[in-house]
Amino acid sequence: MPVFKCILKILRANITFFLIYIIGLSFMGIGIASSLSSEPTTGAFEIDRATYAVVDRDKSALSEGVAAFLGEHGDAVAVEDDEFALQNVIAKGAVDYLLVIPAGYGEQFAQAVRDGKELPAMDAAYSFISLAGIFMDQQVDGYVSLVRTLMTAHPHDAVADLTTQAAKYFEDSVDASYISTAVDVSAADQFSVFLGWSIYTLFTGIVVCVGNILGVMGRPDLRRRNLASALPQGRYNLQLALGCLVITLVSWGWTFGLGIAVYHDAAFSIGLAGVALCGAAMLALCLFAFSFALILGQSGASLLACNAWGNIVGLVIAFLGGTWVPLSLMSSEVLAVAHWLPGYWYSSALEEAITVGATPTLAGALPALQCIGVLLLFAAACFCISLVVARLRAQTSEAGGNLTAPATLS
């Protein structure tokens, strides 16, 4: 088995890819699935008080009212009325909100109310690290608008009274609480999320590892040397396929085994038949990835190309398989596209398999089996394409020449 052993040595030399894509990303899948928590929420809310600074250059009843209003809703930070200090306090994120009330603001405000014109503006700046400042500014706008309304309605009342009255309206608040959705995340759900995440893990991992090995073995000079050797071509191809298939099966075994080991409770809740169907669906997905890698390998793709194809196609298949956005939230147009990719059928197979029950009937298991069948058709289609690519490439001298010479006599 020299070719088989050689494949394992090539894998050993590039073990980083296997460790990253198959081992590392499967653990990431465990992390993502386990982060789906069924812990109940506390239901308690706490008002988040923003920090603010006010520079009052007006010193009028209105400006003092605005400052007092802010004091009710946030924590004041003292700042000097100096250009550098004002820039610094925002640039360093010392406050969420900075309000500068210009001199004469109170007078201009009263005049605008009397004339029915637009209110004078105050200078405001917000922190770039939170939205609390913007929210506070909206509150100030609301407060000032309310003062204007009150001033219009009671033109002879003192401004200080009007600002106090306006502030009282803002003291009212609405009670808020969480509404329990009554959805408990089970081990089966976590197992399902892990299996869904594995679309990307397995596809990319297998494509990169197997594609790279086939790319190395298909290097024209090495290929010529192998072809010229005493090892029959059939046995060479068989060992090559076997080596790549073993990598595929190890990837599948590791990922599925890890899922079962971590979410063993899921096995009990889903049932043996359901778990077996999940495993079969994952195996079919792996065979698709294997066939896709064959196309890349036979076309002489480099390691970089295998990485690129594996990642890009893996992400597309995973996305359209509902790994990140549930299929139920996708538009009909996106779903129509998803039908043409194996990720959709894999997710559908998992969905059907998980609900198949502990004692399934053939009719009950049929939807899952149909989805697995579609996955296998995808794999078969890619395998056929890889054979065509291999045949075409074998006839080019760049790939090491053609295999057989006719025994034509002169």
Q: Residues interacting with other proteins, by CB under 8 A?
A: 2, 5-6, 9-10, 12-14, 216, 219, 221-222, 224-233, 397, 400-410
Q: Map 104-151 to HEC letters.
A: CHHHHHHHHHHHCCCCCCCEEEECCCCCHHHHHHHHHHHHHHHHHHHH
Question: Are 327 and 346 spatial neighbours (Cβ–Cβ below 8 Å)?
Answer: no
**Smallest separation, CB 305 to other proteins (Å):** 17
Among residues 11 and 50, whose Cβ is nearest to other proteins? 11
**Smallest separation, CB 383 to other proteins (Å):** 24
**Smallest separation, CB 246 to other proteins (Å):** 17
**Smallest separation, CB 29 to other proteins (Å):** 29
By CB neighbour count within 10 A (0-12 exposed, 13-18 middle, 19+ buried), where does 214 fall? buried
Among residues 353 and 399, whose Cβ is nearest to other proteins? 399
Q: CA nearest 113: which of 155, 172, 72, 75?
A: 155
Among residues 6 and 202, whose Cβ is nearest to other proteins? 6
Question: Are 54 and 153 spatial neighbours (Cβ–Cβ below 8 Å)?
Answer: no
394 Cβ neighbours under 8 A, 6+ residues apart = 400, 402, 403
**Alpha-carbon span 353 to 370, nearest angstrom:** 11
**Smallest separation, CB 8 to other proteins (Å):** 11
Among residues 297 and 400, whose Cβ is nearest to other proteins? 400
**Smallest separation, CB 90 to other proteins (Å):** 55
Question: Are 300 and 218 spatial neighbours (Cβ–Cβ below 8 Å)?
Answer: yes
**Distance between alpha carbon 354 and the CA centroid of its chain, in Å?**
23
**Alpha-carbon span 76 to 33, nearest angstrom:** 43
**Alpha-carbon span 226 to 241, nearest angstrom:** 15
Among residues 11 and 151, whose Cβ is nearest to other proteins? 11
Say which residue the tokens 């609900």 belong to.
355
**Smallest separation, CB 294 to other proteins (Å):** 19
Q: Considering all CA atoms of the chain, what is the largest pairwise distance in Å, rounded to the nearest integer?
A: 122
Say which residue the tokens 């690129």 belong to.
308
**Sign of the four-CA dihedral 31, 331, 310, 223:** positive
Among residues 10 and 30, whose Cβ is nearest to other proteins? 10
Kindly report the number of other CB atoms within 10 A of residue 183's CB atom.
Answer: 8
Among residues 114 and 225, whose Cβ is nearest to other proteins? 225
Among residues 3 and 341, whose Cβ is nearest to other proteins? 3
**Alpha-carbon span 81 to 38, nearest angstrom:** 51
**Smallest separation, CB 402 to other proteins (Å):** 5
